[in-house]
Structure 1
Amino acid sequence: MASTAPLHRDEEPAFEWTLPGLHLKFDHRDDRPVRLVRLATGPEVPSAAAPWAIVDVITAGVEHRARNNQTLMHSGAGQRLRYAGHESDETELRIRQRAPEFGVEVLSVFRVAGPGLQIRHTVRNVADRSLVLLSVSSALVAVPADGAHDLLWGESEWLAEGRWRQRPLSDLLPDIDPAMHGGQYSRGLFSLTSHGSWSSGSFLPTGVLAAEGVPSIAWQIETSAGWHWEVAQTGATVTVGVHGATDMHHQFAVRLAPGEEFTSVPAGLCVADGGRDAAFAALTGYRRAIRELRTVDARLPVVYNDFMNTLMGWPTTERLLPLIESAAETGAEYFCIDAGWFAAMEGNWWTNAGEWLEAPRRFTDGLLAVIDAIRANGMRPGLWLEPEAVGVESPIAKRLPEEAFFQRYGERVNEAGHFQLDLRHPAARAHLDETVDRLADEFGLGFFKLDYNTNSGVGTDVDATAPGAGLLGHTRAFRDWLSDAQARHPNVLFENCGSGAMRMDYSILSVAHLQSTSDQQDFRKYAPIAAAAPASVLPEQAGNWAYPAASMTLEETAFAMTAGVMGRLYLSGFLNELSAEQSALVREAIALHKDWRHRIAASTPSWPLGLPGWEDEVVALQFDTGEESLLALWSRGGAAEIALPELNGRTVEQVYPVALPEWTVRVDGGSPAVEVPAGPAARVFEVR
């Protein structure tokens, strides 16, 4: 049970919040803001945190920083906040602070979610004049600057998602000898910032400070709009600042009239007694706790999609029917018709998209006949949709009012022939409601693949103080729309694609069923993407493409299928063209995935060889359920012997593919080692 306990009067004013697996302590005085001084997994274990203020607020007209530096920390308004009370229950701690001279009141909410905390801050204007808010931190936490920590961050781009880096903090934040310079803080920092409306287009909104021997911390920013996180040397501490959109980085500002409020984007914060893998395990448990699950989500079906390395946006009846039959034979449970189903056989379907009506003459007896064929083969049908996009030549572009689209400087935002709908506007919302309801009812759909292929930039200045605030408002409205659409269609699954994985964040993923992890078409390059995906997205949501091809050898076929086994198997490819031996490998992989999928959904990921590098010759990913694990090894180079000391005392048995040669597993002093042949080749093992 949660508890808060004020300390004795002769001690510094402080209070604690204790829950199973979490222990927090805060202090406050009349001359400084409330500080988080302890963050640990229990009262008797070491703390990850050093004392630091829990929130920073930057407003126009007040000095942005109380110290000269490049960070968003030490804000003038934030430093003047003072404790005004707190309360808690079994799930939430609420701390109130005020800075009366600036007309600012902040309510900080720490909500328990699995092994972690979801943190948000609500800023209220309590003055008698308007207030312009330029940024609000989502989470702040400091750790001792003792040189024990490594920083991990993820770089990303289209076709090369989830490239993780790990460096000692001492390499990133050099020692400038503060004592020689009057005790001043360093002005340097390490920071990552999103660009435009692709929340994971360049970097991942996740980070870890990992250490052995002292607790590690991990964080994620839960927004599809702008975000920024930074790590800075702050005297005897290193402080992590986690932010949504800011004026400095995203052209963000919100004008609050007297009495109005603004709530920061949520941030997830986890503490773990252990290093890198323990931190990611805590994040995994946290992500499961914040998902809004429905009954239909529990099925975890195998989905076939006709796009990747297959029809590539050009479906017809003649092309689809053989794929439908072969997908059903291999064990697929859903069949999604991807882009192009709405596109006329002539013209530019990209610039005409947006009305989402069946294309004339594309399907011999109409799209419904193809949908019926999917159902007749025992699968549930699905369709691709890019809900926020309207082609510049679409009738919808003229039918909806100007205010229903993103605009800047009085002109519509036009990216690559697409206008961007603004879901804050009721006409845009009504158009998407009508689209999804009509398609779901007309075709009896069980699946929508929602795509987002253009970066619309910093946002829209329509009904917004600044474009970054317009983008945030739209993304919040989009999440609400998606949640409401699922409530109206409780048996329909919704995938978040986001142009491969360019908008992969837990604002959307907390309500979406599935996440495509890449658009990468080279099966060899997909291995590090699939292996790194569970650092960013839950294993049961990580839609890893498995696209066997007739041109592949049997070893290459097994290699391609292994990516799908280790996550959510997202099937594609011309299955009807495969040899009998290849088809057997596909069926075997699907059967193994089905056997393990619910165990994968309860597992924690780990990386016996470290998070994969883009050019690594051997890549490994393990899903651990406690008594048993599923381990995949991909070989992309020459032959090697791979030691697995973390599996000391455990047995390692190959379970896929059974039709190809077993890789030799030797045991040396209790630790297994695997003889990995030259690639491309892959194997899946059960570890007990």
Structure 2
Amino acid sequence: MMIDIEENGLYLKIEVTAEGDARLLHFGARPLVEADIAEEQKPGFRLLELQLTGEDRAEYHGRTHRATYPGLRMVYEGMNDSRNEQGRKLELLLADPVTGLQADLHIQFYNGVKTVRCWTVLRNEGSEAAEVEYVSSFALTGIEKEGTLDRDEKMSVYIPHNGWQSELQWRSYTLPELGMSHMKDRGSKRISCSNTGSWSAAEHIPMAVLTNTETATSLFWQIEHSGSWHWEIIDQYDHLTLLVSGPTEHDNHWWKRLMPGEQFVSVPVAVGVAEGGFEKAIGELTSYRRRIRRPNDDNRLLRIIFNDYMNCLWGSPTTAKLLPLIDAAAEVGSEYFCIDAGWYAPGEWWDGVGEWLPSSERFPEGIKYVLDYIRSKGMIPGLWLELEVMGIRSPKLAETDDSWFFKRHGKRVVDRSRYQLDYRNPKVIAHADEVIRRLVEDYGVGYIKMDYNINAGIGTETDADSVGDGLLAHNRAYLAWLDRIFARYPELVIENCSSGGMRMDYAMLSRHSIQSTSDQEDYVKYAGIAASSPAALTPEQSAIWSYPLREGDDEEVIFNMVNALLLRIHQSGHLAELSPRRLALVKEALDYYKTIRADIPEALPFWPLGLPKQQDDWISFGLRAGNRVYVAVWRLAGGEKEVRLPLSAFKGKEASSQRCAYPADTRGTSSQWNAEAGTLVVRLPEPRTARLFELDF
């Protein structure tokens, strides 16, 4: 039996043999070419990989997750095909005749988008415990099968490397560059990315893009989870296989015992295809991300945030320091004013957090005096929190016991002088609820910068089958708590922050309207992070610091502002101490932003010079909003004063208007649109300068 699915430009083909073996033969942007798969290769096109403790492995597999049992034994039992408000929904039903374990594979389509969300539900219908070591959320073999060239020549994988103050370092690789050359029909080598711990993006953003340069098509995936996860590309049956999952035993210390009657739901993943290369893939993914996000006004209004931390108060606010900053932030047009860390303690506070009560030493008149002053200036007040931790010297510890915290080997998990709170505990939930209630209802806060500055590691042993199981359950409990908070306070904006971008994932960002992208303190280095960010999240969710320096010049202010103007502005810096001319440049940028921000939530990103690298002399990033194009250009270093920016989508078209939009005084900058070549030629006379251009077609 063959099952053919065509939906939203996605083509799926599933074969079910007479023995009930279900095989996903195709998932692509074009229909399957039957000749691309030989009959003897089809057994490798698994719908599911599933490994139980005590079960065999079918063949030599190395560290890969192929050839699993009972994965190879699962029998097709049927399919449910329905529609809901999002789009079409498939449920493929498999069962193991030996253990009684059932697997329901869910595929949710989204109308008008070439992306699906997939997850697996395991149900133990047998009489004995089923102990799970690995279960895929999505499995696809033949990801390189289109075209005639060898995979070594035509396939490239784009991987987003991540790190503190070095977020979003995208790199593309051929498979041989990653050590996987096409030498045999199968092997033990895998190309993989894995995260273990409570920072989901500690080293990589949980996503990747695979492109086929011969056929000009792309496959992309993102793992929508805020803890441990894993994906791998392997070779078998002379094809490449993609396996995407949440945590695993071998990679992430996760193991789950399912008693008869119990079920387990795997981590959801998004998978999609595009006609075109990396930019087209990100365009499809951007549209999908907007579809799955919690409806909210923040991503429509894009109000300007001033935060007092970065290159400013550095976590040491007082009434005296804040009042002139509030005046200056209001003068330039800020709409939120967020008091960052330190408001709850008189001095050094790192290891004492947990009560979240204002410091009378810092605020002699009370914190409400300052928050009311913010409101009197026409801005919405905000406060910083780190509500998933408690300092090892917190006064709040007297009201807690070990059940509040992560534990391993009988002891509390400690990281950077903090304990990790366990959100499965009702007492922890009650504590968190009361803190939010106090800030919103008593203090009138409308914005919370929710930070998270520790990595709790592999998990917790409390009430868990494995430490990874405990971490996964906590991750899900925290998300459920967030959902309740947003339902209770729908107008409240809560920024997602984890030492910058260390938890940049779409479990969080389907809920949070805004994401801190980095703690990077050098505005020149920040440019590459900012320009790369729309590949990992929607532009309107990407919060970029702009922090003019006390000792800077005009060009430093302009560079800072260009970093943020096409994304979400996180204004900071000692604005009250800037010269009138430099302060006017800040205000000019914010005034301009207010004229274009309605375009940002509908626009799609592009990169005329390719994805930025910190080693580049020039970088560029743009947004296309209908027939209007915004292009940010940075000259970081080097002797070349001119750059040609390919805008291939508009080749052969005359621009009805073209201008340097910011700053209005172009200061020796020139630009020229060449319709025949499809290039924007930009001249910036000096290094460490930046400009923003507008073109209408």
Counterpart Cα distance in 2 of 1:354 and 1:628: 48
- Residue from 291, 294, 298 that aligns with 1:289: 291
- Structure 1: give runs of 5+ residues left out of the alignment: 1-12
Decide which moves more: 669-678 or 226-235: 669-678
Counterpart Cα distance in 1 of 2:366 and 2:36: 61
> Secondary structure of 2:481's match?
helix
> Secondary structure of 1:528's match?
helix
Q: Give the CA RMSD over aligned residues.
A: 1.9
TM-score (norm 1): 0.94
Q: CA deviation at 1:63?
A: 2.0
Q: CA deviation at 1:550?
A: 2.9
Alpha carbons of structure 1 residues 46 and 333: separation in structure 2 relative to 1, 3 Å: farther
Q: Pairwise mapping of residues 323-342 of structure 1 onto structure 2 (< 5 A)?
A: 323-342=325-344
Task: State the partner residue of 1:409.
Answer: 409
Deviation per residue, 1:20-77 (Å, 9 max, x gap): 3323221121446422222234659999999622221111111255442321122121
Letter in 2 for 1:495: E
Letter in 1 for 2:303: P
Counterpart Cα distance in 2 of 1:55 and 1:666: 53
Q: Pairwise mapping of residues 649-660 of structure 1 onto structure 2 (< 5 A)?
A: 649=653, 651=655, 652-660=658-666
> Secondary structure of 1:76's match?
coil
> Secondary structure of 1:144's match?
coil
Q: CA deviation at 1:503?
A: 0.9
> Secondary structure of 1:58's match?
strand
Task: State the partner residue of 2:17.
Answer: 29
Deviation per residue, 1:346-376 (Å, 9 max, x gap): xx41111101111122113110000011000
Task: State the partner residue of 2:212.
Answer: 211
Checking the alignment, whether the CA contact within 8 Å between 1:46 and 1:215 is kept in structure 2 is: no
Task: State the partner residue of 1:108.
Answer: 105
- Structure 2: give runs of 5+ residues left out of the alignment: none
Alpha carbons of structure 1 residues 488 and 48: separation in structure 2 relative to 1, 3 Å: farther
Counterpart Cα distance in 2 of 1:636 and 1:438: 45
Checking the alignment, whether the CA contact within 8 Å between 2:132 and 2:255 is kept in structure 1 is: yes
Counterpart Cα distance in 1 of 2:245 and 2:398: 37
> Secondary structure of 2:555's match?
helix
> Secondary structure of 2:621's match?
strand
Counterpart Cα distance in 2 of 1:384 and 1:30: 60
Task: State the partner residue of 1:136.
Answer: 135
Checking the alignment, whether the CA contact within 8 Å between 1:208 and 1:279 is kept in structure 2 is: yes
Task: State the partner residue of 1:574.
Answer: 574
Letter in 1 for 2:106: V
Q: CA deviation at 1:556?
A: 1.3
Task: State the partner residue of 1:20.
Answer: 8
Checking the alignment, whether the CA contact within 8 Å between 2:300 and 2:601 is kept in structure 1 is: no
Decide which moves more: 422-431 or 646-655: 646-655
Alpha carbons of structure 1 residues 194 and 560: separation in structure 2 relative to 1, 3 Å: same
Q: Pairwise mapping of residues 488-503 of structure 1 onto structure 2 (< 5 A)?
A: 488-503=488-503
Q: CA deviation at 1:231?
A: 1.2
State percent identity of aligned pairs: 36
Alpha carbons of structure 1 residues 30 and 419: separation in structure 2 relative to 1, 3 Å: farther
Counterpart Cα distance in 2 of 1:14 and 1:398: 64
Q: CA deviation at 1:667?
A: 4.5
Counterpart Cα distance in 2 of 1:485 and 1:662: 51
Deviation per residue, 1:100-129 (Å, 9 max, x gap): 213221001001133310000001111101
Q: CA deviation at 1:548?
A: 1.0
Checking the alignment, whether the CA contact within 8 Å between 1:40 and 1:46 is kept in structure 2 is: no
Checking the alignment, whether the CA contact within 8 Å between 1:33 and 1:78 is kept in structure 2 is: no
Counterpart Cα distance in 2 of 1:484 and 1:442: 19
Task: State the partner residue of 1:557.
Answer: 557
Task: State the partner residue of 2:163.
Answer: 157
> Secondary structure of 1:70's match?
coil
Alpha carbons of structure 1 residues 326 and 87: separation in structure 2 relative to 1, 3 Å: same
> Secondary structure of 2:509's match?
coil
Task: State the partner residue of 1:127.
Answer: 126
Task: State the partner residue of 2:643.
Answer: 642
- Residue from 93, 105, 108 that aligns with 2:90: 93
Decide which moves more: 547-556 or 445-454: 547-556
Q: CA deviation at 1:493?
A: 0.4
Alpha carbons of structure 1 residues 405 and 650: separation in structure 2 relative to 1, 3 Å: farther
Task: State the partner residue of 1:394.
Answer: 394
Alpha carbons of structure 1 residues 552 and 427: separation in structure 2 relative to 1, 3 Å: same
Checking the alignment, whether the CA contact within 8 Å between 2:315 and 2:341 is kept in structure 1 is: yes
Checking the alignment, whether the CA contact within 8 Å between 1:211 and 1:276 is kept in structure 2 is: no
1:513 aligns with 2:513: yes
Q: CA deviation at 1:687?
A: 2.4
Checking the alignment, whether the CA contact within 8 Å between 2:60 and 2:188 is kept in structure 1 is: no
Counterpart Cα distance in 1 of 2:299 and 2:586: 24
Task: State the partner residue of 1:452.
Answer: 452
Counterpart Cα distance in 2 of 1:585 and 1:54: 56
Q: CA deviation at 1:598?
A: 2.3
Counterpart Cα distance in 2 of 1:425 and 1:487: 20
Counterpart Cα distance in 2 of 1:66 and 1:685: 58
